Amino acid sequence: MSGPDVPDANINGYSYDDLMAIVNFLQSKLVSLKPKVAIICGSGLGSITDIIENQISLPYEEIPNFPVSTVAGHGGCLVFGILSNVPVMCLKGRFHFYEGYPLWKCCMPIRIMKLLGCSHLIVTNAAGGINQNFKIGDVMLIKDHVNFMGFAGNNPLRGPNEERFGTRFPGMNKAYDKDLIKAALDIAKGLNIEDKVHQGVYASVGGPNYETVAELKLMQTLGIDAVGMSTVPEVIVAKHSNLSVFAFSLITNECVLDWDSHKEPNHEEVLKATQNMEVVLQNFVKQIIEYIGKITCVCKQ
C-alpha cells in the first residue's frame, strides 16, 4: 500500500537492506570474529577500548552510510576484539541529537550490533549529579530513566516499525537488566569501590546546553539522580531489538541547584573527571564482560 498518507519504510531511517549492507561490509573486515557484547563509550570514556585485545579498528568515515562523531572526548571508530575472553565491539564515540542527527540515526549502531550477533549492550555516559549524595567520580548504575525528549515526541522508534527487530510498542519497565546490576554491585565490592557505586534514575535531555537551576530542581523533585544528553534513545532501541542492557553514568560534575552559586558546568571538567577514573572503569567493565561471558557461555571462537 502506498500513497501520501502512508509513510515510506525509509522516511525515518535506514531500511533493513541498508543496515545489512553495513553489516556485510563490517563482516568482510572481521573475518571470523563474531561480537557478542557491545559497548558504547560516553564522553571521555573511550579509554575502555585500550584494554581490548586483537583489535580491529574501523574509522566511522570508512564505514558506508555511517554518521561521524563531532564532540570533543568522543573518538570516531568502531573497535572490535577480545575482552575477558569474550568477542566484543565498541562504539568509541556516540552520536547525539544535539549534533544535528535525528534520533534514528544516533541509534542506528544499535541495530548493527544486533545484526552482527550481539546479545548484550553496555552503555556508559558522563552525567551531572543531581542527587546530593553523589560526588564527582562516583558511578551510578542506571536502574530506570526519564525520557524528556520522548515527552516532546522525539523517539528513535518514531516512524514505520521493522518487525524483524521488535514489536511496535515495546515495554520499558524492564529496560535495565536487574541481574547485571546485582552482579555489578558485587564486582564493585570486589574492587573496593562499593562506596563510590550507587543505583539511580537517569534523565536524558536534548542539550547541548547544560540545565537551568529551575530545571534541575524539577528533576530533583521528580526523583531523578543524574542527568545527561544521551543513553536513553540507545536503550530504547536496544530494548526494541531484544538486547540485554547494562548502563552506568560516571558523575563528572555536580549540578548547580542554587541560584546564588557562582559555579558553572563545563565540558573540560567532564573530561578531567573521566581521566581520573580511567583505570577503575576499565577494570569494572572488564569484569562485567567476564561475568556476561560466564552466564552466557560465550567464549573466544
Q: Which of 20, 267, 269, 283 is catalytic?
A: 267
Q: Which of 147, 230, 244, 249 is catalytic?
A: 230
99 carries an active-site annotation: yes
- Tell me how crowded residue 163 is: count the other CB atoms within 10 A of its CB: 9
CA angle at residue 147 from 209 to 221, to 5 degrees?
A: 80
Set of cell numbers at residue 29: 573486515
Which of 59, 117, 129 lies closest to 88, judged by CA? 117
CB 228 within 8 Å of CB 206: no
Would you state the pLDDT for residue 111? 97
CB 42 within 8 Å of CB 124: yes
Q: How confident is the model at residue 298 (pLDDT cuts 50, 70, 90)?
A: low
Would you state the pLDDT for residue 70? 73
- Single pTM value for the model: 0.92
Is 82's pLDDT higher than 70? yes
Is 2's pLDDT higher than 80? no
Q: Which of 38, 108, 126, 277 is catalytic?
A: 126
Mean pLDDT of the chain: 91
Would you state the pLDDT for residue 4? 40
Is 10's pLDDT higher than 60? no
Is 39's pLDDT higher than 90? yes
Compute the distance between CA of residue 168 and CA of residue 181 in angstroms, rounded to an integer: 27
Among 10-19, 51-60, 95-104, 238-247, the minimum mean pLDDT is found in 10-19
Would you state the pLDDT for residue 6? 39
H or E stretch at 98: none
Would you state the pLDDT for residue 41? 92
Would you state the pLDDT for residue 275? 84
Set of cell numbers at residue 220: 530533583
Q: How much is the CA Rg of the chain, to the nearest whole Å? A: 19
Q: Which of 14, 60, 89, 96 is catalytic?
A: 96
98 carries an active-site annotation: yes
126 carries an active-site annotation: yes
253 carries an active-site annotation: yes
Would you state the pLDDT for residue 299? 58
CA angle at residue 43 from 251 to 289, to 5 degrees?
A: 80
Which of 208, 211, 236 lies closest to 146, judged by CA? 236
Set of cell numbers at residue 157: 522508534
- Looking at the chain, list the stretches that DSSP marks H as alpha helix, in order from N- to C-terminal side: 16-30, 103-106, 108-116, 148-151, 178-190, 213-221, 232-240, 267-276, 278-296
pLDDT (tens digit per residue) in 143-197: 999 999 999 999 999 999 999 999 999 999 999 999 999 999 999 999 999 999 9
pLDDT (tens digit per residue) in 102-154: 999 999 999 999 999 999 999 999 999 999 999 999 999 999 999 999 999 99
Would you state the pLDDT for residue 268? 83
Among 4-8, 79-83, 143-147, the minimum mean pLDDT is found in 4-8
Would you state the pLDDT for residue 73? 60
262 carries an active-site annotation: no
Would you state the pLDDT for residue 128? 96
Q: Which of 188, 219, 229, 277 is catalytic?
A: 229
74 carries an active-site annotation: yes
Compute the distance between CA of residue 78 and CA of residue 60 in angstroms, rounded to an integer: 7
Among 37-41, 71-75, 82-86, the minimum mean pLDDT is found in 71-75
Which of 93, 87, 15, 5 lies closest to 53, judged by CA? 87
Q: Which of 14, 60, 69, 74 is catalytic?
A: 74
Q: What share of the chain is helix, strand, coil (3-state, %, to 5)?
A: 35, 20, 40
Q: Which of 9, 21, 47, 98 is catalytic?
A: 98
Is 273's pLDDT higher than 90? no
Domain boundaries, the chain: 32-296
Backbone φ, ψ for residue 105 (5° rounding): -80, -35
Q: Which of 253, 254, 277, 291 is catalytic?
A: 253
43 carries an active-site annotation: yes
Taken as a whole, the chain contains a residue count of 301
Fold of 32-296: Rossmann fold (3.40.50)
CB 284 within 8 Å of CB 17: no
